[in-house]
Amino acid sequence: MDNNIDNNLNRDEQNKINLDSSKKMEQKSNLKCLKNKKTKDLIALTIIVSVLFGGLFGFIGGQVANQELLKSIKNKDIISGDEQSGAEEGSKKAPNEEASLADLKTEESAVMKVVEQSSHSVVSIIVTKDVPKLNSFFEEQFFSDPFFNPFGMPDSRQKESNEPNIEKKEIGGGTGFLVSEDGYIMTNRHVVKDSQAEYTVVMNNGDKIKADVIARDTLMDLAVLKINTDKKLVAVKLGDSDKIRVGQTVVAIGNSLGEFRNTVSKGIISGLKRDVKAGDRLTGQTEALDGVIQTDAAINLGNSGGPLFDLDGNVIGMNVAMAYGAENVGFAIPIKDAISVYQSVKEHGRIVRPFLGVRYIILNEAIAKTNNLPVDYGVLILGGGSRGELAVIPGSPANKAGLVENDIILEFDKVKLTDENNLSKLIQKKNVGDEVELKILSKGEEKKVKVTLEENKEVASE
């Protein structure tokens, strides 16, 4: 029994110890939880404060950054993505850009070389003429007009003075270029058209030399002059106008506007084989220019007759006309046509041209349909409206070959005649004495005849 009491006492004590131990553990656990709660609260508070201050400072920083960005935009251009990447790459240029710059520099150097080597062969042509003095003209009108001089008062001033009533004045100008070392110069006919005027050539170094007009071409706007001097002359280099291409760079040198000697303009060939009508705004006269070169290089009244160079320094054309009312539209005669005239003058002392001796109209589909003709190409031999405008010139090569009015020439030396292959152009490519074959449609039958071209003495030159 005592043992049972002791055991019970021990059990009670043990339970008490366990209870105390449990309370202590619970207190520790509560304390730990309290500490954890305080830590969590502190962390939450820290996060809230950080967010608040972060937002505040972020807002302030954003405003400052925006202000700086606005200032930057105001002071600088906006850079595109391509430019930005280019800026990041530094000063490197794309290969294509470097090639383009190199091409430009090469072209620029070529133009300067052409000017340097060729300017001494380009001349200014000054046109002078004896004209009445302005004051003498009005005095004559006054004293000879009975309205102003009803009493017939004598012109005492004119009697007292022995001075002539005329004076030599400069009335025009243009450009030319030396085609030989012995002084032959080529220019436009309209530059030297006045047979009563005097012509002076001004060299690149300023020397003035009297010039004689050797020939004026009545078919093309060409003329040949001659100067005599002891000084050495240098001729231009002649190119081949048959080999030029559209888009090719060209250089025009001339007496721009009749005032500025050897002015240079650059352009490209805009077109080939143009047929245009050139007119004189003062006289109203017009003429046809066939097969000319179109260029956007500046052509004006002053540099008419001047050379058109390629970048190798070869003359490939002669400046002849500009289109009024249009910018950058000028025309030049192919040098091949111009040189044939010079060579004729050099050999014969005049312009010698072959001719066939027929008057004609060029056929096309519309003309053929209207006149019920069997073909829509070739040329129809036809007289003019007046008696003097004969279809076939008596004694001409065509007359000798038996051609008559209403015959149709279909081919010239096996070349089909069309608007582009004009009979006149084909004849001018031949020489006097050349024998050519014509394909003729006469009274419904085709036949071939041989014709020997002769010199056109009436209209070749003045």
Which one is catalytic: 304, 340, 396, 461? Answer: 304
Residue 80 sits at φ, ψ, to 5 deg, of -75, 170
Name the DSSP class of 419: S
The SS3 call for residue 11 is helix
CATH of domain 237-348: 2.40.10.10
Identify the CA nearest to 350 among candidates 427, 238, 455: 455
Buried-exposed string 273-311: b where 16+ CB fall within 10 A, e elsewhere: eeebebeeeeeeeebebbbbbbbbbbbbbbbbbbbbbbb
Q: What is the CA radius of gyration of the chain?
A: 48
CA distances from 458 to 195, 351, 352 (A): 18, 11, 10
Distance of CA 334 to the CA centre of its chain: 15
Answer whether residue 428 shows pLDDT above 80: yes
What is the C-alpha to C-alpha distance for residues 255 and 191, in angstroms, rounded to an integer? 12
Answer whether residue 288 shows pLDDT above 60: yes
Q: Does the active-site annotation cover 194?
A: no
Which one is catalytic: 118, 121, 124, 190? Answer: 190
Rounded to an integer, the average pLDDT of 9-14 is 48
Q: Which H or E element spans position 43?
A: helix 2-75
Per-residue confidence at 442, pLDDT binned at 50, 70, 90?
very high
Q: What pLDDT is attached to residue 145? A: 55
Q: What pLDDT is attached to residue 83? A: 41
Tell me the pLDDT tens digit for each residue of 164-200: 678 888 888 899 999 999 999 999 999 999 999 999 9
Rounded to an integer, the average pLDDT of 420-443 is 92
What is the C-alpha to C-alpha distance for residues 118 and 358, in angstroms, rounded to an integer? 43
Answer whether residue 62 shows pLDDT above 60: no
Q: Does the active-site annotation cover 221?
A: yes
Q: Does the active-site annotation cover 91?
A: no
What is the C-alpha to C-alpha distance for residues 408 and 447, in angstroms, rounded to an integer? 11
What is the C-alpha to C-alpha distance for residues 387 and 176, in angstroms, rounded to an integer? 41
Q: What pLDDT is attached to residue 5? A: 40
Q: What pLDDT is attached to residue 47? A: 47
E strands along 67-163, which residues?
Answer: 122-132
Q: Give the pair of three-digit tokens for residue 15.
A: 């339970």
Tell me the pLDDT tens digit for each residue of 320-360: 988 766 677 899 999 999 999 999 999 989 899 899 999 99
Q: Give the pair of three-digit tokens for residue 364.
A: 């096309």
What is the C-alpha to C-alpha distance for residues 201 and 194, in angstroms, rounded to an integer? 16
CATH of domain 354-455: 2.30.42.10
Answer whether residue 209 shows pLDDT above 60: yes
Share of the chain above pLDDT 70, in %: 66
Q: What pLDDT is attached to residue 213? A: 97
pTM above the 0.85 mark? no
Which residues 6+ apart lie within 8 Å of 64 measured at CB? Answer: none
Answer whether residue 252 shows pLDDT above 90: yes
Answer whether residue 222 shows pLDDT above 60: yes
Tell me the pLDDT tens digit for each residue of 94-106: 566 666 666 677 8
Share of the chain above pLDDT 90, in %: 49
Answer whether residue 425 shows pLDDT above 70: yes
Which one is catalytic: 217, 221, 310, 407? Answer: 221
Q: Which H or E element spans position 81?
A: helix 81-88
Q: What pLDDT is attached to residue 131? A: 83
The SS3 call for residue 46 is helix
Q: What pLDDT is attached to residue 241? A: 96
More confident call, 219 vs 44: 219
